[in-house]
Each structure stands twice: as C-alpha cells, then as structure tokens.
Structure 1
C-alpha cells in the first residue's frame, strides 16, 4: 500500500517557509512582495483557484490583488493591462489566470508579460533559461512536484521518470527540471501518439500523469514500488454528491495505490503545491527587483 504524498501538509510547510521569508524581508525595511492576478470572466474553476491564491498570499504576508475583467475584454485592452503592470515598479509578480476567452490568444498575452515578473514561469525566456539550467522562474506545477519529492526525501538520483503529457505548462518544463544536475532523473515524455504507452509507464520509477483524462493510468500500467504523481483534476459525474460530480485524477487511485510506494491524491495533492510555489516565485521576484533598484 502506497504512502500518501500529502499536498495539504507539504504545501503548508512551503507556505510557512515563505511567510518566514516575507517577515524577515519586511523586518529589514523592505515593502511586502506584491502580486497582481488578472482574471477574465467568471469561470468557476478559475474563480475558486484565484480565491485560494488570494488566501495563501494574505496568510504569507504578500500584497495580493485580483484585477477582474468581463470576458468580452479585447485582446488589445488586456495587453494594455499587462503593460501597465509591467511598468509599475511596485508590482513584483504578474499572473494572468488561464484559460482565456477564445477571442484572446494565450500565447500573445503570456509573451507580453515582463519575464522578470512572470511568476507563472510560462514566458519563453523563463522556459528557455530552465532548459539550459540558468536561474529562472520555474512553472509552479513542475516546481511543486519536485518540491514534494524533496520534502518527502524521495531520492531522484538515477530514477527513470516517465511523464504522460507534453504540455508547455507541465510536461515539457517538468522534463527539463527533472534532468537538472541536482535532480538527475532519466526522463521519457509520452503523449497521445506514443506507441504501446503501458510498456513505457511500467518501466517508470517515477510516473507523472498530466493528460486530463479521469482514471487513465490503471494499476496494470504501473511498476511495483513506483512513485506516482497525479496532476489531473477531472470532473466525474456522481449523483451521490450534492454537486452531482466528484473530482478525480488521471490515475486510478484505488487500484494504483496497491502497487505504488508513494502516490498523490486528487484533490489534496499537486494542486495545493502549485499554489504554494507561486508564493515562493513571488518572494523571489521581490528579491530580484530589490537587487535591481538598490543603489
């Protein structure tokens, strides 16, 4: 039976560390780190996620505000908002909550964010710096996954890691991160066109699922004793629940936990770490900006 990688406990430990950093930072005479979140429309999942971010930031002592706009905002107007935040010296971190309405090109907006304020780590400059091992803002979900492993004292040296999913948000940056010299995993990235997927996943010492399909990874696809990380959050119809659905990951949790050595639950796993690492990125952004403006 697998041990649980408890995102609630691990994320709280990260938040506590960030709160201590912020306290020491402000005690030294610096202003609190400043995060601005841009939210377009009223997507319930995005609204809930942003509320969680606001709560985390407030508890850590970070100055956080969400700028809300109707979903009919033009791309030009949204780019204007980003530009104003880029040039505001009091703002350390900018996060534009995805997804955006169909009439707005996500890539154009992400590319417009100042890389030095890109606490989501999605700007091409930050992704490129991650690839070559240079200091960068690391996308929060991959950052959170690696932090979970480190804080749980799971040894990654020499591990064979298999990532199922090749998104720019999780799969690709996580592959680059796991190959860094302080982590030293050997990485395979699988996707929808991978032949005989199960043959790859059964070889994984570390298996990460980020495909967006409920219960996609089953027990017969998992190596005995593997560490299994579930990034997926999917709504599954469930008439026994008041809301008519429940949340499920990409992993068949009940089946896989019988074979794995460690496993993340959904909810209560990677998502909470993603929020916590955003705080860490914001604190790091404040340090960078203080270095830039220091005499």
Structure 2
C-alpha cells in the first residue's frame, strides 16, 4: 500500500521567508526604517499568546519591526476598535494583525473593520473578503492563501477538480473556497448541518478540513489518490483528519504540524512587506 507524499509547508515557507527577508532589507535601506507589523491581542487566551509570540519571533528573524498591543480580557468593543483605528492612522505601522478569537463580549467583526484595508495583511476585513470573491486587488486571508500556494508548490491542479471544504468560517473555510473557485475548481462547502459528510468527502479530489474538531474526517472517507489539506490544529498535535488512514489512501497530505501553519505565517510576513511597499509607491 502506498503512502501519500507530504505537502511540506515548512520547506515551502522557508523559501518564502528568504525572499521576504530580502525585500524587507531593501525597504529598510531605501526608507530608513523597518517594515512594521502591529499585532493586537485581546485577552489572555494561552493559544493566542503562543501564536502572537510565534509571529513576532518570525517577524524579528526577517528584519521586520513587531509592535505588540495587549488589551485586557475585559476590553469592550469600543476600546478595541479605538486601539485598532489608532494603528490604522499611524504612519509608522504598515500592517495590522488582530489575533482571533476575541473574548465573547467583543464584536470581532467591528474590530476587524477598524483595520484600514491597505494595512489588512491578515485579510480579515469585508474589503479583503470582497477582493477574494471578485478576484480583485487586495490582501488574502493568510491561511487560505497559504493553502493555495502550498498546492501550487507541489503542482497540484485545481481546475476542473472537485473540492470539498469542511468548515465555513469567515477566516478560513469560506475564503479558501472562494480562492479555489477562482481557479476553476468545483467547490462544495460542508458544515454542521451537512447530511452524510462521508459521502461528500468521498467524492472530492481535494479535501480541505478546516473545522477544528480532532479527526472528524475519517481516513476511509478519502477518495483514492485525493489530495488532503488539514488546516485543523487541536491539542496533542492532532488535525481535523485521521492522518494515518488518510495518508494510506491520498496522493498528497499535509502533516500537522508542519503543513498549513508555516504557510500562514509566510503569507502574513510577505503581505506585510507588500503593504509597506505599496504605501511608499
């Protein structure tokens, strides 16, 4: 029995990081300042703190300035919006990342909308969502864009392929479907009200699991030689797909970790440098 080839996001991201670091250095030399990414963390969720530290560490490695804004768990929507709006108006900030999720009392969409579109390097505003849907200029949601670039890196064709996206979040499931639709894939979205999820998955040439439930997608559901992209990350380094059994059927599969995650950060860093370059043109 053959085993699927890994879609190695770590290796692909490494090449992107090298290019981004070079562009960041060129920008700093020309402008007399470093590219600046501002991260906004609301509350004290441990996973969110870890993700922000990872992004800050990578920014520093690539020569970007990382500015951290920490807001308490009791922060109101108005307070968070004001903090983000101030960053949008700050000429020394090139990109803004608001770490998801926010505490329950915060209207996350309102906070996202306080990000100026030209600084929305995480692709979370309605402007960016429309740009993805209309194939117009704008920043893309980082994880969906990272998935598309990972497929490209391994020459995985999408035109005419049947894609099953398991999950419909506004920051992952929906936008990855839009990006693949723009590449002429036939996209089916599955969610908590989908009847017979197994049947939907089993017909797909490409499966994107993005629901946040450990091993929800069973290995036996995978169509032989399908491509499996697991965008889930659950405690214990477990994805949304039953990895070992899926790998025995698929042609390509992402590891967890080391698949989608590094690509997300690579896109974030690249789009931040692009935002800085766009602002001085």
Give the TM-score taking structure 2 as reference length: 0.95
Alignment of 1:166-185 (within 5 A): 166-180=168-182, 183-185=183-185
Contact 1:57 1:279 in 2 (8 A): yes
Give the total of aligned pairs. Answer: 279
Unmatched 5+ stretches in structure 2: none
1:262 to 252, 261, 268: 252
| Alpha-carbon shift at residue 30 of structure 1 (Å) | 5.6
Equivalence for 2:261: 271
Equivalence for 1:284: 274
C-alpha distance in structure 2 between counterparts of 1:149 and 1:284, whole Å: 22
2:103 to 98, 101, 104: 101
**Greater shift after overlay, 117-126 or 156-165?**
156-165
C-alpha distance in structure 2 between counterparts of 1:17 and 1:157, whole Å: 28
> Does 1:16 pair with 2:6?
no
| Alpha-carbon shift at residue 184 of structure 1 (Å) | 2.4
Unmatched 5+ stretches in structure 1: 236-245
C-alpha distance in structure 2 between counterparts of 1:135 and 1:209, whole Å: 27
Equivalence for 2:224: 224
Give the TM-score taking structure 1 as reference length: 0.91
Equivalence for 2:89: 87
C-alpha distance in structure 2 between counterparts of 1:160 and 1:20, whole Å: 37
1:58 to 38, 57, 60: 60
> Alpha carbon RMSD of aligned pairs, Å?
1.3
Q: What are the superposed Cα offsets for residues 194-226 of structure 1, whole Å, 9 maximum, x if unpaired?
A: 122222211111100111111111122110001
Q: What are the superposed Cα offsets for residues 40-74 of structure 1, whole Å, 9 maximum, x if unpaired?
A: 22211011101110111111111112111221222
Equivalence for 1:75: 77
| Alpha-carbon shift at residue 26 of structure 1 (Å) | 2.8
C-alpha distance in structure 1 between counterparts of 2:85 and 2:107, whole Å: 16
